[in-house]
Structure 1
């Protein structure tokens, strides 16, 4: 998978993970991209360690499931680290 495909995967996985989690967080699109990419990396690593499978091609379902699961974990860690604080505008 190429660099830009991985960024797109991370962004979409981050948006899906953000939508799956209850409540609101103050992450904008750039932070969602960063957390989603970190989640995709984490999901791929955990999939390799725990399940013996890693990230595959862009259109494989296991790639998306691992990336979304990793992004959910990263968003939960981010929420715990920031205390669930929201930005006020």
Structure 2
């Protein structure tokens, strides 16, 4: 059941991050979900490294969205067409 909730939360976080980030991102539904899940993981490890969260503690929605925006920014840099 936790995998299904991670997928649903990842999709919602990915949608919010894509709505906040300026520009157009041509990503499908699966990539949006992966973006949200990876953003949550980045926020979890980043918060633990900065001492904001204890290891293994679930992060909040805002931290997940910020992590997804960071991942989306890096993804945009990596796939930038010249």
CA–CA separation in structure 1 for the residues paired with 2:12 and 2:51: 23
Count of residue pairs the alignment pairs up: 80
| 1:59 alignment partner in structure 2 | none
CA contact (8 A) 1:39 1:72 kept: yes
Is 1:72 aligned to 2:47, yes or no? no
Q: State TM-score, norm by structure 2.
A: 0.85
CA–CA separation in structure 2 for the residues paired with 1:11 and 1:81: 22
* Structure 1, gaps ≥5 residues long: 57-61
Runs of 4+ in 1 over 4 A off after TM superposition: none
Q: State TM-score, norm by structure 1.
A: 0.79
* Structure 2, gaps ≥5 residues long: none
For the aligned residue pairs, the C-alpha RMSD in angstroms reads 2.0
